[in-house]
Amino acid sequence: MSDETLSNLLTENRTFAPPADLAADANVKADAYAAAAADHEGFWAEQAGRLDWAEPFTQVLDDTAAPFYKWFVGGKLNVAHNCVDRHVAAGRGDQVAIHFVGEPGDTRSITYSDLKDEVSRAANAIEELGIVAGDRVAIYMPMIPEAVVAMLACARVGATHTVVFGGFSADALASRIEDCNAKLVITADGGYRRGAPSALKPAVDAALEKIDNATTAIVENVLVVRRTGQDVAWNTDVDVWWHEVVDESSTDHRAQAFDAEHPLFVMYSSGTTGKPKGILHTTAGYLVGTAYTHHAVFDLKPETDVYWCTADVGWITGHSYIVYGPLANGVTQVLYEGTPDTPHKGRWWEIIQDYKVTLFYTAPTAIRTFMKWGRSIPDEYDLSSLRLLGSVGEPINPEAYMWYREVIGGDRCPIVDTWWQTETGMMMISPLPGVTAGKPGSAMTALPGVGADVVSEDGVPVPNGSGGYLVLTKPWPSMLRTLLGDDERFVDTYWSKYKEQGWYFAGDGAKKDDDGAIWLLGRVDDVMNVSGHRLSTTEIESALVSHPRVAEAAVVGAADETTGQAVVAYVILREGASAGATGEELVQELRNHVAKEIGAIAKPRSIMLVPELPKTRSGKIMRRLLKDVAENRTVGDTTTLADAGVMALIAEGQKTST
């Protein structure tokens, strides 16, 4: 973010007080902050009362092996029971849990009773396939109810799931299956995207081939949902149809209680090195944290609200705020399979109108896309059911905030801009809709029970009006427990920078305004944020270098009006490797190569073929300078460059190619 944007942000002084009726009837009021501050553990122990425990915990927080914290020690519960069965037991079996909207227009409304039957059947079926507590299951699915059912079935039997976003490539899927040793993969023939069936099963087949499953047999079965009916290759040793085994299974399944710290899921996320990190979340603390924040930040009234989070279940937002938090709270929600522009650009607004959605949660990148399409599209629909809007994934710029507020929220709905991460599991910094007077572009303050501050390099909290690094100062229940198989990287990445203080280093830059409200300024490391998705510069560089024509690559995230950041790559070709495509054709080939290695989301927006890369004398690529070029700025300080002429060459090349 440039200094100019930053000072614009900090002079942003509009505020929007909560609507009076919402404030009067809010789930969480202002006193929650003081209560939580006075007794951190007591506050979270009270929130734990939102769940059904098979055995009560004996200690709220065990910090003896910090940063390897344990929450709700000695407690036992079953996550699926909490998200499904107990609502049925409470007489709410007929309430709709999920209004599913398929992209082609097919719909299904699934009540909590239906969901209980479906999850129980799936749990029986995967047990029949040999899955026991502690096993790992990879889920690679479109946005269909079976994805939610698969996750809950794993939770029910104590298997740890890792959901791999359907947009990831076979290679990315293979590395995740291998890293977590998945015994079962749950997938579908395909899903509908942009008006056509989009295959998934072939990527699973290719992934198994890549890990040489025929020899190593890591994956014993692939359970396949039939969604599109497209042709699939079938390996009878491994592949099983969902409708053959799940539909045939009994709806009776006794859910066993698991330890509070039983591993619930692993979510891979990009870090600063090429290898994605397997972020581990456990059972009780995660569910307490997501349930409480969903209740507090969305002010959920489960009997009357209709909630819709547009994220994919393949990301943490889908885990925490489609599956676990909302279902633990007994929500009625919409689940939509497809893209916002299929079959027309008003699809989302039509869904809000049809289902009378009251609480809506989406990402700034989507809002900016709709702004580009124009307000006449949402204006055609009745959006008067909405009462609260949420934003997540990246900073929401004031323009997008105002558009969201006025055009979608009819100037009446508060906006909750929620800052959090895959690692935090739950929202950490956000307005409380019945309490906070929101400012366009600020995530405002830490939620009750959360400690956040902005500090200097050497660990001193900065005064209001200044910027620094965002840290989390107190342990919270849904914190990641480690990186799968790599405790050392866990400690190094998050807990070593402010070891003395015991603070969690978030990797984000932030600023406190004159009132102490927090404004997020983006990542301070080599992680990019493209359309709210985290991508690692190094990971994309490795993908480029794995192409036989590429000698070296440098990747930067350049500011982009719609996607927040866009991937821009600078590539040096191998000498002598001149056979094959050149120019634009080669650039296309390289872009497709990245899509194949990682997934379409990682495709560079542009690739520049350059003769040299700017490096320090110690050989480190100076991405900062490349970012200046990519964002058409005057190139900054080049004094530490080993060869000062390099930037002139690159800038010259950029001019001629754009």
Q: Is 206 exposed, middle or buried (0-12, 13-18, 19+ CB in 10 A)?
A: middle
Interhelix angle 646-657/623-630, nearest 10 degrees: 30
Pairing of strands 359-362, 388-392: parallel
Q: 623 a known binding residue? A: no
CB of 581 to ligand WTA, least distance (A): 34
Q: Is 591 in the site for ligand WTA (CB under 6 A)?
A: no
Is residue 539 within the footprint of ligand WTA (CB under 6 A)?
A: no
Report whether 418 belongs to an annotated binding site: yes
Considering only residues 313 through 352, tell me which ones interact with ligand WTA, judged by CB under 6 A.
316-317
Within residues 497-536, the interface with ligand WTA by CB under 6 A covers 506-508, 520, 523, 529, 534
Give ∠ CA 269-271-276 in degrees, rounded to 5. Answer: 50
Does residue 284 belong to the site contacting ligand WTA (CB under 6 A)?
A: no
Least distance from C-beta 510 to ligand WTA, angstroms?
Answer: 9
At 252 the three-state DSSP class reads coil
Is 276 annotated in some ligand binding site? Answer: no
Q: Is 289 annotated as a binding residue?
A: no
* 368 vs 523 by CB, closer to ligand WTA: 523
583-597 and 537-545 helices, crossing angle to 10°: 120
Query: Which of 283, 362, 421, 445 lies at the binding interface for ligand WTA (CB under 6 A)?
Result: 421
Residue list 439-458, contact with ligand WTA (CB under 6 A): 443
Q: Which stretch binds ligand WTA (CB under 6 A): 58-66, 129-137, 420-428, 633-641?
A: 420-428
CB of 388 to ligand WTA, least distance (A): 15
265 binds ligand WTA (CB under 6 A): no
CA dihedral 277, 536, 541, 521 (to 10 degrees): -160
Q: Write out 549-567 in H/E/C secondary structure.
A: CEEEEEEEEEEECCCEEEE
User: Residue 103 or residue 513: which is nearer to ligand WTA going by CB?
Assistant: 513
Taking each continuous run of H as one helix and of E as one strand, the counts in the chain are 24, 30
CB 100 within 8 A of CB 108: yes
Q: Which two tokens stand for residue 405?
A: 């507020």
Q: Is 547 annotated as a binding residue?
A: yes
Q: In whole angstroms, what is the distance from residue 539 CA to residue 342 CA?
A: 31
Contacts of 165 (CB under 8 A, 6+ apart): 312, 314, 315, 599, 601
* Closest approach of ligand WTA to the CB of residue 279, in Å: 8
Give all strands (DSSP E) within 363-494, no chain letters.
Answer: 388-392, 415-418, 452-455, 467-472, 482-483
Confirm or deny that 195 is annotated as ligand binding: yes
The binder of ligand WTA chosen from 169, 228, 397, 422 (CB under 6 A): 422
Would you say 468 is a known binding-site residue? no
User: 457 vs 421, 509, 520, 583, CA distance in Å?
Assistant: 21, 11, 17, 44
Contact flag: residue 538 with ligand WTA (CB under 6 A): no
Helix (H) / strand (E) element for 328: namely helix 325-328
Under rule CB under 6 A, residue 103 binds ligand WTA: no
Element (H, E) at 147: helix 145-157
d(CA 457, CA 347) in angstroms, rounded, equals 46
Least distance (Å) between residue 367 CB and ligand WTA: 12
Using DSSP's 3-state secondary structure scheme, residue 108 falls into strand
Q: Which is nearer to ligand WTA, 102 or 393 (CB)?
A: 393
- Kindly state the number of chain residues that form the binding site for ligand WTA, as judged by CB under 6 A: 21
The nearest distance, CB 393 to ligand WTA, in angstroms, is 5
Determine if residue 317 is labeled as part of a ligand binding site: yes
Degrees, nearest 5: CA angle 310-315-320: 75
d(CA 622, CA 609): 17
Question: Can residue 113 be called a binding residue for ligand WTA (CB under 6 A)?
Answer: no
Q: In angstroms, rounded to a whole number, what is the distance separating the alpha carbons of residues 267 and 66? A: 22
Restricting to residues 375-404, name those near ligand WTA by CB under 6 A. Answer: 392-395
Residue 430 CB, nearest distance to ligand WTA (Å)? 8
- For the bound state, the minimum distance from the C-beta of residue 47 to ligand WTA, rounded and expressed in Å, comes to 20
Smallest CA-to-CA distance from 83 within 299, 308, 255 is with 255
Residue 40 binds to ligand WTA (criterion: CB under 6 A)? no
Given the complex with ligand WTA, which of 285 and 393 has the nearer CB atom?
393
166 is in an annotated binding site: no
Give CA 416 to chain center in angstroms: 17
Pick between residue 297 and residue 626 the one whose CB is nearest to ligand WTA. 297
SS3 598: coil
Q: How far is the CB of 369 from ligand WTA (least distance, A)?
A: 17
Nearer to ligand WTA among residue 222 and residue 316 (C-beta): 316
Between residues 157 and 400, which has the closer beta carbon with respect to ligand WTA? 400
Residue 263 binding ligand WTA, by CB under 6 A = no
Q: Is 649 helix (H, G, I), strand (E, B) or coil?
A: helix
The CA-atom distances, in angstroms, between 228 and each of 197, 303, 347 are 6, 34, 20
Q: Output the smallest distance, CB 116 to ligand WTA, in A.
A: 29
Question: Quick one: CA dihedral 460, 466, 467, 471, positive or negative?
Answer: positive
Cis link prior to 343 (omega < 30° from 0)? yes
Could you tell me which stretch among 6-14, 347-355, 414-422, 433-441 binds ligand WTA (CB under 6 A)?
414-422
To the question of whether residue 657 is assigned a binding role by annotation, the answer is no
With CB under 6 A as the contact rule, the residue among 27, 269, 333, 536 that binds ligand WTA is: 269
**Quick one: 506 or 630, whose CB is closer to ligand WTA?**
506
Considering only the stretches 34-42, 244-252, 368-376, 412-420, report the one whose residues sit in contact with ligand WTA under the rule CB under 6 A: 412-420
535 versus 625: smaller Cβ distance to ligand WTA? 535
In this complex, which beta carbon is closest to ligand WTA, that of residue 221 or of residue 310? 310
Binds ligand WTA (CB under 6 A): choice among 417, 526, 539, 541: 417
Task: Tell me the residue type at 148.
Answer: V
CB of 394 to ligand WTA, least distance (A): 5
Sheet of strand 359-362, all strands in order from the earlier edge strand to the far edge? 107-111, 96-101, 333-336, 307-309, 359-362, 388-392, 415-418
* Of 629, 528, 508, 514, residue with least CA distance to 570: 629
Q: Which two tokens stand for residue 292?
A: 């409480």
We find the least distance from the C-beta atom of residue 316 to ligand WTA, in angstroms, to be: 5
Closest CB to ligand WTA among 306 and 510? 510
CA 183 from chain centre, in angstroms, equals 24
The annotation places the binding site for ATP at 393-395, 417-422, 508, 523, 534
- Binding site as annotated, residues for CoA: 193-196, 317, 531
- Can you say which residues are annotated as belonging to the binding site? 193-196, 317, 393-395, 417-422, 508, 523, 531, 534, 545, 547, 550
Residues annotated within a binding site for Mg(2+): 545, 547, 550
Binding interface with ligand WTA (CB under 6 A): 269, 316-317, 392-395, 417-422, 443, 506-508, 520, 523, 529, 534
